[in-house]
Amino acid sequence: MPREFARSQRLGSQIQRTLSELLQFETKDPALAGVSLTAVELSRDLGVAKVYFSLLDPDGDVAAAQAGLQRAAGFLRGKLGSAIKIRHVPELRFLHDDSIAHGFEISRLIEEGSKDVSDPNSGG
* C-beta separation of 31 from 70 below 8 A: no
Q: Model-level pTM? A: 0.78
Looking at 33-37, 47-51, 97-101, 115-119, which range is the least confident one?
A: 115-119
* C-beta separation of 54 from 104 below 8 A: no
Checking if the pLDDT of 113 tops 70, the result is yes
All structural domains of the chain, each given as residue ranges with its CATH number in brackets, are: 2-98 (3.30.300.20)
